[in-house]
Amino acid sequence: MAYAMLIINIKNNYNNLFILFVSDVIVMAPDSYKSSLQEMVYESLANLQISFERVDTDEAYY
pLDDT, tens only, 3-20: 655 555 555 555 666 677
Q: Is the pLDDT of residue 30 over 60?
A: yes
Dist. CA 7–CA 16, nearest whole Å: 8
Q: Is the pLDDT of residue 44 over 80?
A: yes
Nearest CA among 20, 22, 24 for reference residue 8: 20
pLDDT at 15: 63
pLDDT at 1: 60
pLDDT band at 57 (very low <50, low <70, confident <90, very high): confident
pLDDT at 24: 87
For residue 22, what is the enclosing H or E element? strand 14-22
Dist. CA 28–CA 51, nearest whole Å: 9
